[in-house]
Amino acid sequence: TKVGIDAGGTLTKIAYQTNGSIRYQSVPSADMEYTVEWLSSQLDNPDVCVTGGKSELLTKKWQAPAKTMVEFDATTKGIEFLANHQDQALVEPFLFVNVGTGTSIHVVNDGKQERTGGSGIGGGTLMGLAQLTTGIHDYKQIVQLAGNGNRGNVDLKVKDIFEGTLSPISGDLTASNFGKTEKMAAYAPENADILASITGMIGEVIVSITIPTAMQYNVDQMVYIGSSFRMNRLLRETVSKYTIMLEKTPIFLEKGEYSGAVGAMLSI
Ligand code: ATP
Ligand code: MG
């Protein structure tokens, strides 16, 4: 069995081929022992290619031979494969933005990627700030609550400042993330509201730092990948709306968080 593994900072993504179809599995990177056990017990005769920041850690535990691959190239290959199979036409140059534990931005031209930037604001930021502000650690619980929160109890919009006066920019834009201090002093926001605002801030930062790169490289399509979008409709919507508002085309691939693993699997 051909197996591609992307061992990331938070999650280890596994893609493998059985009977012509691809299967996907993800496990916490903190438990490499489990990953190695899973590989040897679930898959017969695995032929492994590993990528991602924790590749070394994994290959050390994996006693059999394994190929390794540069993560960014694996991801590019995986994105092209997934887009192709989902009838999603990608026009070069395009950008991909990998929102993992942290965020990494890349431009792809002639099938080759170049990393143009990144940010420490990513999925790990959601987990960390959620933990600090609400004490909640569970990812599913965080995204579910965030989905029901009201950012209006926490974030200051442009129209909140320009009361009655015509503002020079859209009143719906965020003027200040977490800036609604007066309201918050009078009425403490719910955990759901706080989590919605954290999610919104992360989405807005990601788009804001990506747009100048899109302009510089004359790119229209922005492919957003990474497990941070998993089950997280609010993050997806925030990123999507803001990208469209800035006149670029957002693309979310199904199983996009497995791009690196798929690319590694295809390189065997
Ligand atoms: P990096 O690429 O930065 O090394 P990574 O590859 O591990 O990290 P991803 O797997 O793409 O990163 O995304 C990790 C993020 O996905 C987490 O920070 C969290 O926001 C989100 N996430 C989705 N599902 C889970 C889960 N089951 N447990 C924890 N985090 C999850
Ligand atoms: Mg990753």
Given this chain, do its domains 2-87+258-266 and 119-252 carry the same CATH topology? yes
Q: What are phi and psi of 262, to 5 degrees?
A: -65, -45
The domain segmentation of the chain, as residue ranges, is 2-87+258-266, 119-252
Query: Which residue in 33, 71, 114, 254 is the catalytic one?
Result: 71
To which CATH superfamily is domain 2-87+258-266 assigned? ATPase, nucleotide binding domain (3.30.420.40)
To which CATH superfamily is domain 119-252 assigned? ATPase, nucleotide binding domain (3.30.420.40)
ipTM of predicted assembly, 2 dp: 0.99
Q: 10 C-alpha vs ligand 1 centroid, how far in Å?
A: 5
Strand partners, 113: 108
CA distance 65 to 89: 36
Encode burial over 225-241: b for 16+ CB neighbours within 10 A, e otherwise.
Answer: bbbbbbebebbbebbbe
Q: 140 C-alpha vs ligand 2 centroid, how far in Å?
A: 19
Q: What is the structure's pLDDT at 101? A: 98
Q: What is the structure's pLDDT at 131? A: 98
Identify the helix (H) or strand (E) that includes residue 224.
Answer: strand 221-225
Determine whether the shortest distance from the Cβ of 9 to ligand 1 is under 6 A.
Answer: yes
Which stretches in the chain have pLDDT values below 50? Answer: none
Helical axes 123-134 vs 139-147, angle rounded to 10°: 80
